[in-house]
Structure 1
Amino acid sequence: MRIQIESETVTILCELNDSQAAADLVVQLPLTIEVENFSTNEKTFYPPEKLDISDAQLANAEKGTLAYYSPWADVVLFYDHFGQGSQLYELGQVIDGIDEIEALSGTITITVSE
């Protein structure tokens, strides 16, 4: 399954893994939501509903990793190395637009991509 993340100037394509958490994100799409900067290496947004992490793998986040941080119930898109963190679960990877992640800002639209 693939999703597309778009702002006014940026389009990013992600390939999701087979976890229930990724499936839970997909059923909430399409979403139009605010993306926020966090730290020096990530963009975050908050889906309306929490994701089921019961079968999700912990993430070893690198540039291009799409993950879910369960304590805050936010989806994280990394534009630089992060590494491992407890309660950070991988949802997928950017397959197109990896160098555009840092430029995401404001309102984004997330849709299922064919």
Structure 2
Amino acid sequence: MRIRLTAGETVLNAALDDNATARDFASLLPLTLQMDDLFKREKFGHLPRSLTAGGEPRFSYEIGDIVYWSPGPDIAVFYDHDGESIPDPGIVVLGEIDSGADALKQFDGAVEVTIEAVD
């Protein structure tokens, strides 16, 4: 499934992975979240509910990853890399931004992000 993330004038296109967690995330769309900055590497936002488990937990990330952090329950979008690993219980990758994730650097602090499915 293809999705679009919009923050101000910034539009990022992405593809969701084919796993149970990503499919459950897709069922919440469209969604507008207040996303805060964390460690100058990611924007994260609190989901209205926990997602179904089913994706493979990871302890590393790539720029452009859209991930689920189950203790939150939060999603995060990585726009930079600081070399640090992710603590337990890890993250589940929901999808990847095609290109331009670093555009999220321009938003100092919190930003409202709308996430929607696209045809």
Q: What TM-score bracket applies, with the shorter chain setting the length? A: 0.7 to 0.9
Calculate percent identity across the aligned residue pairs. 27
Match of 2:92 among 85, 89, 93: 89
Q: Identify if the C-alpha distance between structure 1 residues 17 and 84 changes in structure 2 by more than 3 Å, giving closer, same or farther.
A: farther
Q: Distance in 2 between matches of 1:73 and 1:37?
A: 16
Is there any run of 5+ residues in structure 1 with no aligned partner, and where?
none
Is there any run of 5+ residues in structure 2 with no aligned partner, and where?
none
Alignment correspondent of 1:31: 31
Alignment correspondent of 2:61: 61
Match of 1:103 among 97, 106, 117: 106
How many residue pairs get aligned? The number is: 113
TM-score with structure 2 setting the length = 0.84
Q: Which has the higher strand share?
A: 1
Q: Distance in 2 between matches of 1:106 and 1:99?
A: 14
- For residues 52-99 of structure 1, what are the alpha-carbon distances to aligned partners after superposition, in whole Å with 9 as ceiling and x for unaligned? 12x201233011111111111100100112564232111111113323
What's the offset of the Cα at 1:102? 2.2
